[in-house]
Structure 1
Amino acid sequence: MPSPDRPRSTFAAAKGWVDPLVVLIVAVLVLGLLVPATGTFADVLAVVRTCAIVLLFFLYGARMPTREVVDGLRNWRLQGSMLGATYVLLPVLGLLVQLLPDAVLAPELRTGVLYLSLLPSTVQSSVVFTSVARGNVAAAITGATISNVAGIVLTPLLVGVLMTATSGPLGGSLSGILLQLLLPFVVGQVLQPWVGGWVRAHAPLTRTTDRATILLVAYTSVSQATVSGAWDHLTAVALVVLVAVCAVVLAVVLVVTWWGGKRLGLDRADRAALVMVGSTKSLATGLPMAAVLFSPAVAAGVALPVIVFHQLQLATCAVVARRVARVE
């Protein structure tokens, strides 16, 4: 499932370490804090947000060639390692973060870190960084695509199993998952042979849809949380601790995937792909899906770790990719 961090913005991040999308998200977060939507305007935005999420996941399905996913399964050792890093290693780390006491990291932020750990990989960012690292780009494309296809089912399933067990009921809706996420994606895949070529040829359309949906979800989630008072206990210290926790999680994944790939007998190019796909998480999937899976107050708290980790992964992987490129 392609994420919004396209090659152009990703290369910019590799040089300047600041993703323009993150700047826009921060801007709408501030707007949601200072000028939250209320009344009829809030009701209209909620409907528009639902329609945007449905369109987003339909386009995900429509632009993703099914044959690419099937062909990529042949390299089972590398693809299995990527899926293992995304849906086993990172969720385990997310669960370990839940052991931190409330005095260290607030419960809603711990919930957000766990949710972050359950998301699929990015596509564009991981592919571009694999290329910078002189890695197996074809395997990265396939691995990230498989991760995102699986994420349509696995992420809501893991949220239901792991997050309900650790955090209690989170306000999600099974009908919302089916109607807003899975059904549009399936319809897109069914129509892909006929409309996929046109959708892929009009990248600006999908890029605009991705970013507009993310910004809309970010504003409405924060706006609803502001109105409900969900931010009353959030402090600067809590944000610093959150950044530190996300940095530790990312560092562990980078080390484990690089050296674990060596133990599995993967060559340098495959290890580079494993590191870049296995360590990144999709902002494009994370924010819209959170709006469906959680109640508004929970969704706002969950969004913050996703945004923080996204910026950290861009900055860190830019450095790591260049260092891996020098490894023989």
Structure 2
Amino acid sequence: MMARLKTLFDPLVRLLLLAIVLASIVPVTGENRAIARVISDCAIFLLFLLNGLRLPRQQVLKGIRNARFLLPLIVWVFGVMGLAGWGLSRIGEGVLPSTVALGLLFLGLLPSTVQSATAYSSIAGGNVAASVVAAAVINMLGVFITAPLLSLAAGGDVGIDLAGLQRIALILLLPFAIGQLLQTRLGDIIASNRAFISWADRGAISIAVYVAFSAAVEQGLWTLVSLPAWGWLAALIGVFLSLGFAGSWLAGGALRLERGDRIAFLFAGAQKSIALGAPLATVLFPPATAGLVLLPVLAYHLLQMIISAPIAQRLNPSGEYS
């Protein structure tokens, strides 16, 4: 119980909840919307620049060679979870606003978290090195393949035109590439200022969520989603969580992974990244649409953190971290 309460006070969770509350009370409207969009784009640019600076290329290359662990995980994260998201979105179309239902598909196609998946893998006594590398590689892949997979799976509901591709290239790929190029020069500075970088990450994600939710609130977010629809969304997210955590654990067993690798597979396979989800939604969708698409992602992110703590402690009752 204490672990769950502690999770609710995680800095990113608090900032996301604050962003949603502020967007509901004082949303960005009118002429200020364009200024807020520019600020959000700059924050996302900074986020991916920092990601490029702190992701060691040597770790990525080393992780790619562990094909027995990495390849099934990639298939699970983007293939199996993507199909689950597609199936739940089809169910959601009958009981949820169409844009919220689309968010379930978007959620399924997102890559793993990096920080929390690694942290919980460590608490559970898993293979932390494999977890770090796998999450890093999958996030890098997610920048390139989540959007095309979403466009393919959603059919006519999501079309990525030239302007959309340019935004992805300029706001996500370009800063990441610059960060990788400057890594040898600035990597040590980034490593020695982890606390500041961590808060910069959280701030960028929260700004993207605030801007997206402001537009959604202006369009009537809290009246568009009825009370029964909230109940259906909670139920579908619950099913998604069960599939993610139970399925990834069983998949790791079916692959006959060693226990440490199986634990790493569990958290990297079940957790979904708000760090990529929020920026990518604001790039792919108009602001009002992005806020609704992010509803399932935000709900899943909060709940995955709440249930991950007791699961990790159950897997490692000794309490000795990796």
For the criterion TM > 0.5, the same-fold answer is yes
1:284 maps to which residue? Answer: 275
Deviation sequence 1:187-245 (CA, Å, 0-9, x none): 11111111112112111232122111122111111111222335432123222221221
1:149 lines up with 2:140 in the alignment: yes
Give the percent of matched residue pairs that are identical in Structure 1 and Structure 2: 35
Code of the residue aligned with 1:223 in structure 2: it is S
Aligned-partner Cα distance in 1 for 2:305–2:35: 34
Structure-2 change in CA distance of 1:236 and 1:212 (3 Å): same
Structure-2 change in CA distance of 1:135 and 1:23 (3 Å): same
* Residue 308 of structure 1, CA deviation: 0.5
Equivalent position SS for 2:224: coil
2:91 maps to which residue? Answer: 100
Aligned-partner Cα distance in 1 for 2:244–2:23: 33
Matched-pair contact (CA < 8 Å) for 1:14–1:319: yes
Equivalent position SS for 2:15: helix
Aligned-partner Cα distance in 1 for 2:104–2:222: 17
2:180 maps to which residue? Answer: 189
1:313 lines up with 2:304 in the alignment: yes
Code of the residue aligned with 1:313 in structure 2: it is Q
Matched-pair contact (CA < 8 Å) for 1:22–1:307: no
1:217 maps to which residue? Answer: 208
Structure-2 change in CA distance of 1:101 and 1:201 (3 Å): closer
Aligned-partner Cα distance in 2 for 1:129–1:264: 21
Aligned-partner Cα distance in 1 for 2:281–2:125: 34
Gaps of 5+ in 2: none
1:60 maps to which residue? Answer: 51
* Residue 61 of structure 1, CA deviation: 0.6
Structure-2 change in CA distance of 1:125 and 1:155 (3 Å): same
Q: Number of paired residues? A: 315
Structure 1 segments of 4+ aligned residues over 6 angstroms from their partners: none
1:89-238 alignment, distance < 5 Å: 89-100=80-91, 102-163=93-154, 165=155, 167-169=157-159, 173-238=164-229
Matched-pair contact (CA < 8 Å) for 2:151–2:158: no
Matched-pair contact (CA < 8 Å) for 1:85–1:253: no
Deviation sequence 1:140-181 (CA, Å, 0-9, x none): 111111111111101122222223x16344787111011111
Aligned-partner Cα distance in 1 for 2:47–2:310: 31
**Which of 245, 264, 283 does residue 236 from structure 2 map onto?**
245
**Which of 278, 289, 292 does residue 298 from structure 1 map onto?**
289
Equivalent position SS for 2:65: coil
TM-score normalised by length of structure 2: 0.91
Code of the residue aligned with 1:146 in structure 2: it is V
1:5 maps to which residue? Answer: none
Code of the residue aligned with 1:167 in structure 2: it is D
1:6 maps to which residue? Answer: none
Matched-pair contact (CA < 8 Å) for 2:89–2:103: no
Please tell me the root mean square deviation across aligned C-alpha atoms, in Å.
2.0
Structure-2 change in CA distance of 1:298 and 1:92 (3 Å): same
Matched-pair contact (CA < 8 Å) for 2:126–2:264: yes
Deviation sequence 1:83-105 (CA, Å, 0-9, x none): 12211111010111122154423
